[in-house]
């Protein structure tokens, strides 16, 4: 009796607090921790192919947040990853040696980072672990070979503004 009374109240409060559509009772929404996501985006290796704030690989679309697009449904981000999955996984095996392993909460944090202009502005090479930075440079070197860069300087292709 009390249970049937309390449950609807709990659902309505959750709805009011989250400002989002009511969710099924079997679901638990993760924390969207953008600061944690900044670290994971680098340590998981997304940065090897995707750039944010001008830092990162040039093999894949940049993941800079454009506030003019307005708020985004996080599942649309996951759906985009799903759409690009075949190419992405193939390239991960090639460039990182294996497919990146991520959990739901980790992905939620990365998605939060991908939609937080303030956190993105803080993103720098200091966030990138050495092993990942090495892969980033290897990928850049490959591009220099492919593109016959010519100037043979130490500036990675990704920073020279050509495409």
Residue numbers at the binding site for ligand HEC (CB under 6 A) = 44-46, 48-50, 59-61, 77, 80-81, 84, 87-88, 91-92, 95-96, 100, 102, 110
Task: Name the minimum Å distance from CB 82 to ligand HEC.
Answer: 9
Taking the least distance from each CB to ligand HEC, the nearer of 25 and 142 is 142
> Measured between alpha carbons, how far is 100 from 44 in angstroms, rounded to an integer?
7
Task: Name the minimum Å distance from CB 20 to ligand HEC.
Answer: 21
How many Cβ atoms from other residues are within 10 Å of residue 36's Cβ?
A: 18
Task: Name the minimum Å distance from CB 93 to ligand HEC.
Answer: 8
Taking the least distance from each CB to ligand HEC, the nearer of 14 and 144 is 144
| Whole-angstrom Cα Rg for the chain | 20
Taking the least distance from each CB to ligand HEC, the nearer of 54 and 61 is 61
Taking the least distance from each CB to ligand HEC, the nearer of 146 and 153 is 146
Task: Name the minimum Å distance from CB 90 to ligand HEC.
Answer: 8
> Measured between alpha carbons, how far is 11 from 14 in angstroms, rounded to an integer?
5
Q: What is the enclosing helix (H) or strand (E) of 52?
A: strand 51-52
Taking the least distance from each CB to ligand HEC, the nearer of 22 and 79 is 79
Whose structure tokens read 């609807």? Answer: 8
Task: Name the minimum Å distance from CB 23 to ligand HEC.
Answer: 23
Q: Are residues 128 and 46 in contact, defined by beta-carbon separation less than 8 angstroms? A: no
> Measured between alpha carbons, how far is 96 from 77 in angstroms, rounded to an integer?
22
Q: Are residues 1 and 71 in contact, defined by beta-carbon separation less than 8 angstroms? A: no
């Amino acid at each position: 009796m009390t249970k049937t009374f309390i449950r609807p109240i709990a659902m309505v409060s959750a709805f009011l607090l989250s400002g989002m559509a009511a969710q099924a009772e079997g679901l638990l929404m993760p924390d969207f921790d953008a600061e944690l996501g900044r670290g994971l985006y680098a340590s998981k290796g997304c940065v090897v192919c995707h750039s944010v704030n001008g830092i990162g690989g040039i093999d894949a679309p940049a993941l800079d947040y454009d506030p003019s697009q307005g708020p985004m449904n996080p599942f649309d981000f996951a759906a985009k990853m799903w759409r690009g999955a075949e190419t992405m996984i193939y390239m991960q095996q090639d460039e990182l040696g294996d497919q990146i392993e991520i959990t739901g909460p980790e992905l939620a944090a990365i998605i939060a980072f991908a939609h937080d202009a303030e956190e993105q502005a803080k993103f720098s090479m200091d966030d990138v672990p050495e092993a990942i930075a090495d892969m980033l440079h290897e990928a850049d070197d490959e591009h220099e070979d492919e593109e016959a860069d010519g100037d043979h300087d130490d500036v990675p292709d990704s920073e020279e503004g050509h495409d």
